[in-house]
A = this chain, B = another copy of it.
């Protein structure tokens, strides 16, 4: 039987749907755990118990309160404790702006990273600012565009260590709604993927983005009368949605160094789409960026205590 880890601190990525925690030591990750106790399903009083359930085994040997550094929707108004947005242009994270959260359990000392807002055009992020800080920690001096594909994909212009501006696209949520809840779901079930169909959707959307609502329905119609199969339909849907996003985000990626931060599969789709437009994109793993961002917060925050 292995001893439970006794972490120096605990990293927490707490989004709308999921809670992920890491026990961190001098050498890096000692242990990790996750649950579906996302912000979206918790009332204010449920956050501390949901966290303790996951990290309890790591607290056994604690003689002093263990620092817990969290980012994501946990800091929203509907979350555990509001961490008010910081306004761009600014560094993605500021240790001095961390919000301390009172806890019942004396074995932890919780702080939450604020998200970022942009006044015009109005935009917000929570969690991605930590990944951006992590990317800058892993890749010091990076100047250019960071794209963070996901439910709400973010494009951020980063320069001199600051987020200059950013823009959010509902691409991932549209894909989920359309493939799981809409009439299209009938023709999208099952496994498989077709790169050529992705490329077709991408090119259709980039050349005539305004046709999106008609092209969406044509996936259904082709399934009914022309035998369009699920792997092709799903890949084309993804291509269409990423295509209209790239059409609108062109000022971000055109002629700029681009790095993608996110899950491997989705980042590869974005990289493929960008490559088709002649733009090279480097892929940075999302979890590594999150942890690097939280670690930089922890280090700086501890230094100033």
Contacts and interface: CB of A to CB of B under 8 A. Distances in A.
Interface of A: 85, 117-119, 121-124, 152, 167-171, 173-174, 177-178, 181-183, 208-214, 216-218, 220-222, 224-226, 228, 241, 244-245, 247-249
Contacts of A218: 121-123, 168
Copies of this protein in the complex = 2
9 contacts: A121-B218, A122-B226, A167-B214, A168-B214, A170-B183, A171-B213, A174-B216, A177-B177, A210-B248
A248 B123 contact: no
A170 B182 contact: yes
Contact of A169 (B122, B124, B213): B213
For the complex, would chain A's binding face be called helix, strand, loop or mixed by DSSP majority?
helix
Given A152-B183, A178-B177, A181-B177, A123 B221 contact: yes
B217 A152 contact: yes
Given A183-B152, A217-B152, A212 B244 contact: yes
Contacts of A183: 152, 170, 173
A213 B244 contact: yes
A170 B124 contact: no
A168 B152 CA distance: 27
Contacts of A168: 214, 217-218, 221
A79 B66 CA distance: 60
